[in-house]
Structure 1
Amino acid sequence: MNMEDIARLAGVSKGAVSLAFSGKPGIGDETRERILSIARQAGYTPRSRVRPPVRPSEDSPRGREPAVLPFLVVANSGIVTTHYDRQPFFRELIHYLEKSTESGGLSLLISAIDMERFEDDLRAVAEAHSDRGAILLGTNLNKEVISRVAERLPKLVVLDTCFETLPVPFVYTNNALGGYQAGASLCRSGHRTIGYVASNVRIPNFDNRRRGFDEAMREWGAKVLPEHEFSVDPMVPTAQEAFKSRFRRLLNEGSPLPTALFCESDFMAIGAMKSLAELGIRVPEQVSVVGFDDIAEAVIVSPELTTVRVDKEKMVRAAVRLASAAGDSPSGLSVKVAVDTVLVERLSSSPAPLPTE
């Protein structure tokens, strides 16, 4: 049983279930008790959680509620599923959020807004938190959805995406720089026949990575051939048949293989390496592979993955700082904070192989 099931049984929105679990206002006592009773009977452990606040000093005013920092996730939209916190990149973001808020004496409240009940869930969250600074995971969201959330939560900070024409604070990765770093590094290593592994679900982060990569290709006089373009599921870090079929066709036709692949995320890179291994293609001796994100799994796979490091901790610290300041002051000018990337070279990439005679 999940939050959706409990909401259905209780006859309320998923946002109301989140408020009941977090102990926050916004719903009546009778509704809260009905939700909690259903959850207890089902043996359900809430995924939304509040980090315990730092114990106040004796000089602190008594009776003051601990400062709460809401972290909002719009689930069932794009690459962010109901189980987003099981995905490595988002799991690491949440880890740093918990670490950052705890060190700042804040209580972190994680709440999911279901895209299928967007207005009801957003209304419940806004009723409880419109006067607080809050962080919204923006990875999977378009401009319109972020605007609607910001209208209800005027002290909002958006994490992991950016729309320059929205007057909203954003903290995000410089994805174009990361794509450029990956492309330029491969070109410096002698690669000119480079393939591109793209997500079949598009978000601005991926588009900006492609933009930076293409800029590096132009500067080095290289380009991606149409037969070296691959589209994969970004959420499946295993061998994918569509990718294997494209590569197998190149082998069968005797066409030149790309000597390197740039993948829009580490999950896609790990899946590509597994596909290549099943086809008998050696990494990096025959094909170098470069990913993006530097998730923990990048050093577990063999060979260890060369990747573009996203400084998740720095992004989170900046977002928490902005949201905390917004909660203590009226809404004012918004800022946009871009965090630069670094290429981390490991064993999945090497100089381009010498041409065979």
Structure 2
Amino acid sequence: MKMEDIARLAGVSKAAVSLAFNGKPGIGDETRERILSIAGRAGYKPRTRAQSQEVVADTSGDRAMTALLFLVIANSGIVTSQYDRQPFFRELIHFLEQGSRAGGFPLLISAIDMERFDEDLRAIAELHSERGVILLGTNLDKGTLSRIAERLPKLVVLDTCFETLPIPFVYTNNPLGGYQAGNWLCRSGHRAIGYVASNVRIPNFDARRKGFDEAMREWGIEVMSEHEFAVDPMVPAAQDSFKNGIERLRTEGKPLPTALFCESDFIAICAMKSLAELGIRVPEQVSVIGFDDISEAVIVSPELTTVRVDKEKMVRSAVRLATEAIEAPSGGAVKIAIDTVLIERRSSSAAPPFTSDAD
């Protein structure tokens, strides 16, 4: 196995691999450990300056096979090659490290580049087919998951679910979260409710829309087409596509929505910053609700009302299923849905007494 292969499996650049092997600064401790662990498991034997010793594969004893692998398919949909810097996924990895450590299982982290999917999956399967694997499924479709499961029999998929696949899944009850957000807005007196969607579609977003729409039907509210917007889900900053939609309403003399449900916290932050640039106050004129409850939700101003995804509980369930697969594989797959909770903060309030965007 070459350095290029180690870089792909670790989801980093070749330069980062070189820094790790030579004990040089420039990468984080977790990244360095991940690179060296992958290299060791693959039998790659670099000599680091810092350690002055070889990193040798440990394939004997229980430790090698009881380590859990967290696997990411990068450069596909909303999951980039820098997935460990994306807030939601960064928090998942944090809880995975805690959970595997508490269970006495070392955690390996690896990535497959979607552009080299078949080659990278083959390499992963050769190294880890007997290992418990937790796969980040957020961005993956049914066909891709089936192909991965064929090569990795002790697989648990995290953050998505396909009910017709005989694979263990641990996922968020996204319809419930969308319903909770829509129901809260309606109970708070809002009737002109807008929807800010991701322009990159994944099943989780579609499920959130399904729950939101159910709440709207129960309250007899129709979301007007001009109150629906689509933005880049990876840019937590003001976006012209959203601002132009709001400005169009103003120009045409149409009322603004008094509230917005956003499919993720990044999208909600984008909406709030866009509204601020347009001189529209949150929540006095427009309430905003997000989804995920990432750490940034309490950093923005005003603090973001959001639907909390219990990432810690999701991860605990996934680790348990993966370790059970190592110790006593069962013949049936388990699917675990984790319910959401609406967290009220300062970005939302009761509907204003009128819907005009004038002061």
Taking structure 1 as the reference length, what is the TM-score of the superposition? 0.86
Aligned pairs, number:
325
Give distance in 2, aligned partners of 1:130 and 1:203.
27
- Distance, in Å, in 2 between the alignment partners of 1:162 and 1:192 is 32
Aligned mates of 1:157, 1:95 — CA distance in 2: 18
Question: Residues 334 and 74 from structure 1, CA distance in 2 versus in 1: closer, same or farther, beyond 3 angstroms?
Answer: same
Cross-structure match for 1:202: 201
Stretch moving more, 329-338 or 217-226: 329-338
Match of 1:183 in 2: 182
Q: Percent identity?
A: 70
Q: How does 1:152-167 map to 2 (within 5 A)?
A: 152-167=151-166
**Which whole-Å CA distance do the structure 2 matches of 1:248 and 1:38 have between them?**
49
Please state whether the residue corresponding to 2:88 is helix, strand or coil.
helix
Matches of residues 1-357 of structure 1 in structure 2 within 5 Å? 6-7=3-4, 12=5, 18=10, 40=21, 45=27, 46=31, 48=34, 64-65=62-63, 67-355=66-354
Which residue matches 2:42?
none
The answer as to whether partners of 1:74 and 1:137 remain within 8 angstroms in 2 is yes
Q: Deviations over 1:104-160 (max 9, x none)?
A: 111000000000110111111111111121100000000011100000001100000
Equivalents in 1 of 2:174, 2:130: separation in Å?
32
Contact 2:256 2:355 in 1 (8 A): no
Amino acid at match of 1:65: R
Q: Are 1:308 and 1:344, in contact at CA under 8 Å, matched by a contact in 2?
A: yes
- Residues 316/115 of structure 1: CA separation in 2 closer, same or farther (3 Å cut): same
Contact 1:14-1:114 within 8 A present in 2 as well: no
1:65 & 1:91 partners in 2: Cα distance? 25
41-50 vs 249-258, greater mean Cα deviation: 41-50
- The alpha carbon displacement at 1:65 in A equals 2.6
Compute the displacement of 1:18 (Å).
4.2
Separation (CA, whole Å) in 2 of partners of 1:192 and 1:352 = 8
Deviation sequence 1:192-247 (CA, Å, 0-9, x none): 10000000000000000000000000000111100001000000000001100110
**Separation in structure 1 between the aligned mates of residue 355 and residue 158 of structure 2, nearest angstrom:** 47
Contact 2:170 2:338 in 1 (8 A): yes
Give the SS at the match of 1:308.
strand
Q: Give the alignment's Cα RMSD to 1 decimal.
A: 2.5
Is the contact between residue 6 and residue 39 of structure 1 (CA under 8 Å) also seen in structure 2? Answer: no
Q: Is the 8 A contact 2:258 2:355 kept in 1?
A: no
In the other structure, the counterpart of 2:43 is: none
Gap change, CA 1:251 and 1:42, over 3 Å in 2: farther
Q: CA deviation at 1:37?
A: 6.5
Q: Any stretches of 5+ residues in structure 2 without a counterpart?
A: 39-59
Which secondary structure does the structure 2 equivalent of 1:218 belong to?
helix
TM-score for both structures, normalised by structure 2: 0.85
The CA deviation at 1:253 is 1.6
Q: 2-side partners of 1:281 and 1:83: how far apart?
A: 33
The residue matched to 1:65 in structure 2 has which SS? helix
Give ranges in structure 1 of 5+ residues lacking alignment. 22-34, 52-61
Q: Is the 2:7–2:17 Cα contact (8 Å) retained in structure 1?
A: no
| Runs ≥4 residues deviating over 6 A | 35-39
